[in-house]
Amino acid sequence: MKHKSDKRERFKYKSNFTSSRQMNYPKCPICGKNIRDLYSAVNYSKTESPAHFDCILRELKTTYDLRPDEKICYLGNGSFGIVQFRGPDSPIRFFIRKRIQYESAEKKPEWRKKLPFNSAM
Ligand SMILES: [Zn+2]
């Protein structure tokens, strides 16, 4: 008898786990919408929680005054760069005017540690 109930408990736990993983997406602190793809999310500096990559990008654009020939690009390892695009006559096509280390390079955010596969970010 005891063995049977043990089994049922384990099954209940397992089904709860799956459904919560499917239903409870974290909310983006910037736009308030669900984040369905945590692997592309960025750690938001003000709340230490995940936010949409695009939302972070939008916020960086308003924080840093961009010139018309500049764009913010993701450089990898949690850092962004303000990239200047030069005309076709220039020997260099683009150069990084400013590097923004957005996420800490050493410290991984707690929520990302919980992901089944750690992303390269
Ligand atoms: Zn968002």
Q: Are 108 and 114 in contact (CB under 8 A)?
A: no
Whole-number Å distance, alpha carbon 47 to ligand 1 midpoint, is 13
pTM for the whole structure:
0.70
* Mean pLDDT within 28-56: 95
Q: What is the pLDDT of residues 1-15, one digit of tens each?
A: 555 555 555 555 554
Question: What distance in angstroms lies between residue 72's CA and the mean position of ligand 1's atoms?
Answer: 17
pLDDT of residue 71: 94
pLDDT, tens digit, 9 for 90 and up, residues 47-69: 999 999 999 999 999 999 899 99
What pLDDT was estimated at residue 86?
87
Q: How far is the CA of 63 from the centre of ligand 1 (A)?
A: 16
Distance CA 45, CA 31 (A): 15
| DSSP string of 46-114, one letter each residue | TTTEEE-HHHHHHHHHHHS---TTEEEEEEETTEEEEEEEPPTTSSSSEEEEEEEE-S-SSPPPHHHHT
pLDDT of residue 19: 47
| Centroid of ligand 1 to alpha carbon of 50 (angstroms) | 9
What residues contact 62, with CB distance under 8 A and at least 6 apart? none
Q: How far is the CA of 11 from the centre of ligand 1 (A)?
A: 35
Whole-angstrom distance, CA of residue 39 vs CA of residue 26: 12
Question: Which residues 6+ apart lie within 8 Å of 108 measured at CB?
Answer: 118
Given a cut of 90, whether residue 101 has pLDDT beyond it is yes
pLDDT of residue 1: 53
Domain ranges of the chain: 2-113
Sign of CA dihedral 101, 104, 106, 110: negative
Is the pLDDT reported for residue 18 higher than 60?
A: no
In the reported structure, the alpha carbon of residue 30 is separated from the centroid of ligand 1 by a whole-number distance in angstroms of: 5
The beta-carbon contacts of 60-66 under 8 Å, at least 24 apart in sequence, are: 60/100, 60/102, 64/98, 64/100
Cα(48) to ligand 1 centroid in Å equals 14
